Amino acid sequence: MTREHWMRDLPVELRDLSIINLAIPGSHNSMTYGINSKSKLAPDAETSIRRWHRFFPCFVRRWSRTQSAGTLEQLQLGVRYFDLRIAQKDDKFYYCHGLFAMEIFEPLLEIRQFVDSHPGEVVILDLQHFYALTVAHHQQLHKDLIQFFGHRLYSTADGSLKDCTLNRCLEMQRNLVIIYRRCPIPLPLRFWPSYSWPTPWPNKASVKKLQSFLEDSLLSRQPQQGYVSQCLITPTGRYIAFRLFFTLKSTAKRVDKKLQPWIQEQIPGPFEPTEEPRVNVFLADFVNLKEGQFCDWVLELNTKLQVSMANPEKEYT
């Protein structure tokens, strides 16, 4: 199985499972690789970030970028879930994380081209947060996204998420899922609402507290939902102030190292309401660290799922 075609290469019994029952690598703030020396402050920038940016813009960039791999590289590493934060400026839409990145459709074109040339793969776009968007802006963004992706979108009219298997998506030529959160107006049928795919924010600055949060919050997952485990810490102002010469990348390395055992002991797959919930999407910073080892850890869980389905009496720890 190659990372670039990992969904296509899954055994048939897994391709007949819903995508909410597979282990899927995801990237946190996926498009922040587009933040550069020309990036201006975005509407989501907190007061402390605005203050620091005035005197230390390079320092702010270091802590605003959560990915260094471009969209195509992330796809080739196996990432199939993209976490997107969108801000509006002068009636144009940009990605952001404290600072503006690129306009939104340049990376989306790469994703569209990828799914067209990789029909066995399914990509999930999670529009997590919006900044400085009016109702009219949301209406325009809905229209633009539907027009841009067209027939490729697996919509709420096509069935439930439990029906969204890789084989069914291939047959229907639907290989994109859009989750649109925190919308002030009714969603078009082409998009999935926030409650269909919960993504609890840990908001922890220590890996020990992060792991406890991941374990506890997973217990709230329902069988019909997708679910995101955010394997990342949220640095506080105090945390960053004491690490002036560190970067978010060095922090991500430490998080990956400490969370590796927890990730590798998880099992994806369907579960009953009376059973312990299982994992689905894993989110991380800098998914290209050590040649994409995080993606390998997550994808390997699907092999474990295959074995557990073949031997339902076998237990894994």
Active site residues: 28, 97
Tell me the Ramachandran region of residue 98: left when phi exceeds 0, alpha when psi lies from -120 to 50, beta otherwise.
left
Question: Token pair for residue 189?
Answer: 């049928």
DSSP calls for the chain:
--GGGTTTTS-HHHHTSBGGGS-EEEETTTTGGG--TTPPBPTT--HHHHHHHHH-HHHHHHHH----S-HHHHHHHT--EEEEEEEEETTEEEEESSBEEEETHHHHHHHHHHHHH-TT--EEEEEEEEES--HHHHHHHHHHHHHHHGGGB--GGG--GGG-BHHHHHHHT--EEEEE-S-SSPPPTTSB-GGGS-------SSHHHHHHHHHHHHTT--TTS--EEE------HHHHHTTTT--HHHHHHHHHHHHHHHHHT--BS---TTSPP-B-EEEES-TTGGGTHHHHHHHHHHHHHHHHHH-TT----
